[in-house]
Structure 1
Amino acid sequence: MILSLRHARVRYGPLEALHGVSLDAPGPGVTVLLGRNGSGRTTVLRALAGAVPLSGGAVVWDGVDVTRVPAYERARRGLCLVPERQAVFGSLTVRENLELGLDDPAPALDAYPQLGPLLSRRAGTLSGGEQRMLALSRVLSAHARVVLVDEPAQGMSPPVAARTYELLSALDACVIVAEQRLPPVLHGRRALVHELRRGAVVFSGEASELGRPLGMTGGGTTP
């Protein structure tokens, strides 16, 4: 399975955020979109999910042009997007969040046992790292074909961040993550990396081709 952008352009009003971006993300496996804030990596995820329209180019899924397929239909076909913010229902409890779309929350708790004592808490009261665990635990149990995650390890401690990437890497899905730096757990692996700057791809290759990582993006203290 391959999810691709072909000469994709995205505009926000008068500003163009993507300048003819072309990239492939094969699956199963992890593809990393690297770039600083404003590089276009989040816009790439949103374009792939159908959350923003293209002003030019195409989104291709398994050889089929899905550019005009709406976001809800892409979700029905097995695409899940976990945005950087507002990825959980803050007014619902952790248990209620897990029960949305999941017949059995047990696999989610297996992925992140830290959520067990928090089941009765409202999701909006959790720390940033705990909210990321909750959002990801639902995706990990959803049997999705495509998983798009914006900064999955944000707010997590290094051990939890490393486990998160191990869980994502084990999925039988095309997994695309957006990060500011290459996660240490992926350094030296055959994960595909696309680096973006100012809305354009400046590097495409394997993670092993990049230099030594500077550190995990997650900077929190979630145990």
Structure 2
Amino acid sequence: MSAELELRHARVRYGPLEALHGVSLAAAHPGVTVLLGRNGSGRTTVLRALAGTVPLSGGAVVWRGEDVTRLAAHDRARRGIAFVPDRQAVFGSLTVAENLELAEPHGEFDGALDAYPELRPLLGRRAGTLSGGEQRMLALSRALLSHARVVLVDEPGQGMSAAVAARTYALLSVLPATVVLAEQRLPPPLRHSPAHRPVVVHELQRGAVVFSGEAGELPAPDGRATPGARRPGSSASCPR
């Protein structure tokens, strides 16, 4: 697996505050990359930088070997990057069906509705009246229908029941795409991944990467790193 999407020494500022301090990381195709960190760690900002919804103050975004740092978010979306933010990920004034039609104008929703059958009886409902978990299912369904090459999702299981969240992570783990997730903690379904398609983890603290490795190499609860874990600066930032 090769690097599909990269940040190279990326810096992002919100006014006088710098949210990312020269972050470098890569995501493989196909594969799952998880950005771990508490609120304020910079994980959401990394997603936004990759999607193009926040500008870099330094560094670069590289997609399939091309510098796309100055490419607008809507142009990245047209080329195949789907971004599901943690908030306002659906159009509340549109119905569920109308939201899905934005990704699949021919109304062929079966792929998404097979993944989330809970949405079938809600097709005529306005998206703004759905629960938080139902809105997450709808937003993810739009991403599935778009057949995006890159899927960026901020906390996909937010608001979902445990069963639906587990189904979601199982679905994302086998997508034929580059999947980048932002999470506070590593979801249990992603901790043990198949050897041919390992889940790569980048942990962020205060806008910097403090750990990079495969999910099974995460530091133990006592803080000691598991042998084989890669630290920032290692040349191996993609799956082996």
Q: Normalising TM by the smaller chain, what interval?
A: over 0.9
Mapped partners of 1:151, 1:32: distance in 2: 10
Mapped partners of 2:46, 2:220: distance in 1: 25
Report the counterpart of residue 44 of structure 2 in structure 1. Answer: 42
Mapped partners of 2:31, 2:161: distance in 1: 23
Contact 1:10 1:17 in 2 (8 A): yes
Report the counterpart of residue 62 of structure 2 in structure 1. Answer: 60
Report the counterpart of residue 208 of structure 1 in structure 2. Answer: 216
SS of corresponding position for 1:51: coil
- Residues 101-116 of structure 1 aligned to structure 2 (within 5 Å): 101-102=103-104, 103=106, 104-116=108-120
Report the counterpart of residue 152 of structure 2 in structure 1. Answer: 148
Report the counterpart of residue 19 of structure 1 in structure 2. Answer: 21
Shifted more, 1-10 versus 14-23: the winner is 1-10
> 1:101: how far off?
2.4
Report the counterpart of residue 220 of structure 1 in structure 2. Answer: none
Percent same amino acid at aligned positions? Answer: 76
Contact 1:187 1:212 in 2 (8 A): no
- Residues 81-96 of structure 1 aligned to structure 2 (within 5 Å): 81-96=83-98
Report the counterpart of residue 176 of structure 1 in structure 2. Answer: 180
> 1:188: how far off?
2.3
Answer yes or no: is 1:100 the counterpart of 2:102. Answer: yes
Q: Which runs of 4+ in 1 moved over 6 A?
A: none
Q: Which amino acid aligns with 1:91?
A: S
Mapped partners of 1:131, 1:211: distance in 2: 33
Of the three residues 105, 117, 122, the one matched with 2:126 is 122
Mapped partners of 2:93, 2:34: distance in 1: 32
Structure 1 gaps, min length 5: 214-223
> 1:211: how far off?
5.2
SS of corresponding position for 2:32: strand
SS of corresponding position for 1:208: helix
What count of residue pairs does the alignment treat as equivalent? 213
* TM-score normalised by structure 1 residue count: 0.93
Structure 2 gaps, min length 5: 222-240
Q: Which amino acid aligns with 1:183?
A: P
Mapped partners of 2:219, 2:56: distance in 1: 33
Q: Which amino acid aligns with 1:169?
A: S
Of the three residues 29, 32, 38, the one matched with 1:30 is 32
* TM-score normalised by structure 2 residue count: 0.86
Q: Which amino acid aligns with 2:15?
A: G
